[in-house]
């Protein structure tokens, strides 16, 4: 086996779009190693060109099949596509267990499509901690569109809104009470609603129910003039895919012309700043404060303190150690 290439040495190859370098850089980002921060900072300087689209919805709604169809449609139009498929983590290995790259195996021979599965490793919000670093890498490598397919776990899925320019929420017939999805906040985050599996006999009822819900005011329009569309699709027949692609492009145009795109990019940057700060603090606590964490946990278990007070104690200890 050859020697591992340090992250900084991969940057130029990533910018040239070399697939091996892109894959290796994403692996470095997932590892969270200190050595990759400088390389990721350099890559970040070359981002801002890709249209980042989030695809979410409950498990079983056909998100991966929809992603496959979208990739084919984008490629037919001459655009390159990067896919970050976020899988639930194995509780034993921390690795992804759904294997989206296997489910999307008909795309792997296309050099204009790059697919990477990422394990959440316990991260909340349906996104892996390295998901947005992966988006940066694909953006800098020249991919025109980057799709993030999230786990599809319910209310925590709302976090995807803080990571993308356009959010697709996928529903499907026969998946239970749609009102519950609204209560979870999932339907209300959509820039575009998609009903998958519309070739099924019960799809019409789902489409009608969703239209009624949108008509009742569940975020069917937005402040920058965008009317949230509802598009029935079939990943089997391809029905609705051209209309969906048109809607995705139309949403980007609406974002750009209204100035909302810049606001969303700012929101994404702010969210990443705060998330990165949280991750740094969490990692530092874990590395240097295991004993204090254990002692404070014992005090919580015995009822001598409560979580807020214990956290404040931990923060005070952290601050005092760093005073000059």
Across 110-124, 134-148, 157-171, 180-194, the highest mean pLDDT is recorded for: 134-148
State the alpha helices, DSSP H only, in 77-177.
100-103, 131-140
- Does 92 score more than 60 pLDDT? no
Mean pLDDT value across residues 59-86: 92
Q: Which residue has the tokens 């980002």?
A: 29
Rounded CA separation 6/312 (Å): 39
Task: Give yes or no for residue 103 having a pLDDT over 50.
Answer: yes
Q: Distances in Å between the alpha carbon of 164 and those of 48, 172, 211?
A: 12, 22, 24
How confident is the prediction for the chain on average, in pLDDT?
A: 83
Mean pLDDT over 281-309 rounds to: 86
d(CA 56, CA 62): 10
Q: Helix, strand or coil for residue 112?
A: coil
Whose structure tokens read 């070359």?
46
**pLDDT digit string (tens) for 209-262?**
888 877 776 555 667 889 999 999 999 999 999 999 999 999 999 999 999 999
| DSSP state string for 196-209 | --TTSTTHHHHHHH
- Distance in angstroms (rounded) separating the CA atoms of residues 212 and 206: 10
Q: Which of 7-16, 18-27, 195-204 has the lowest mean pLDDT?
A: 195-204
Q: What is the pLDDT of residue 104?
A: 66
Which has more pLDDT, 71 or 87? 71
Over 80: is that where the pLDDT of 188 sits?
A: no
| Closest to 117 (Cα-Cα) out of 75, 165, 84, 143 | 84
In the chain the first and final C-alpha atoms are separated, in Å, by 46
d(CA 257, CA 251) in angstroms, rounded, equals 10
The pLDDT of residue 323 is 67
pLDDT tens-place string over residues 29-41: 988 888 899 999 9
pLDDT of residue 96: 44
Give the model confidence (pLDDT) of 145-183 as tens digits. 999 998 765 544 567 888 899 999 988 887 655 544 554
CB 122 within 8 A of CB 87: no
Average pLDDT over residues 293-315: 92
Q: Count the neighbouring beta carbons within 10 Å of the beta carbon of residue 313.
A: 15
Per-residue model confidence (pLDDT) at position 161:
83
């Amino acid at each position: 086996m050859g020697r591992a290439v340090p992250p900084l040495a991969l940057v130029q190859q990533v910018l040239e779009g070399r697939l091996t370098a892109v894959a290796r850089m994403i692996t470095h980002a997932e590892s969270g190693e200190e050595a990759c921060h400088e390389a990721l900072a350099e890559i970040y300087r070359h981002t801002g060109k890709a249209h980042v689209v989030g695809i979410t919805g409950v498990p079983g709604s056909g998100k991966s099949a929809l992603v496959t169809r979208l990739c084919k449609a984008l490629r037919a139009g001459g655009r390159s596509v990067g896919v970050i498929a976020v899988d639930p983590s194995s509780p034993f290995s921390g690795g992804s267990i759904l294997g989206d790259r296997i489910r999307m195996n008909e795309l792997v021979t296309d050099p204009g499509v790059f697919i990477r599965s990422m394990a959440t490793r316990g991260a909340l919000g349906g996104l892996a901690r390295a998901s947005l670093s992966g988006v940066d890498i694909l953006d800098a490598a020249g991919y025109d569109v980057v799709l993030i397919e999230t786990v599809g776990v319910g209310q925590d899925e709302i976090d995807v809104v803080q990571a993308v320019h356009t959010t697709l929420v996928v529903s499907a017939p026969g998946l239970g009470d749609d009102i519950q999805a609204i209560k979870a906040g999932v339907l209300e985050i959509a820039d575009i609603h998609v009903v998958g599996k519309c070739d099924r006999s019960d799809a019409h009822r789902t489409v009608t129910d969703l239209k009624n819900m949108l008509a009742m005011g569940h975020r069917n329009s937005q402040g920058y003039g965008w009317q949230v569309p509802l598009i029935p699709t079939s990943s089997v027949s391809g029905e609705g895919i051209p209309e969906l692609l048109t809607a995705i492009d139309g949403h980007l145009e609406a974002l750009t012309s209204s100035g909302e795109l810049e606001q969303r990019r700012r929101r994404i940057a702010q969210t990443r700043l705060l998330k990165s700060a949280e991750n740094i603090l969490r990692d530092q606590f874990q590395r240097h404060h295991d004993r204090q964490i254990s002692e404070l946990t014992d005090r919580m278990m015995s009822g001598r303190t409560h979580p807020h007070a214990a956290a404040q104690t931990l923060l005070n200890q952290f601050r005092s150690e760093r005073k000059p």
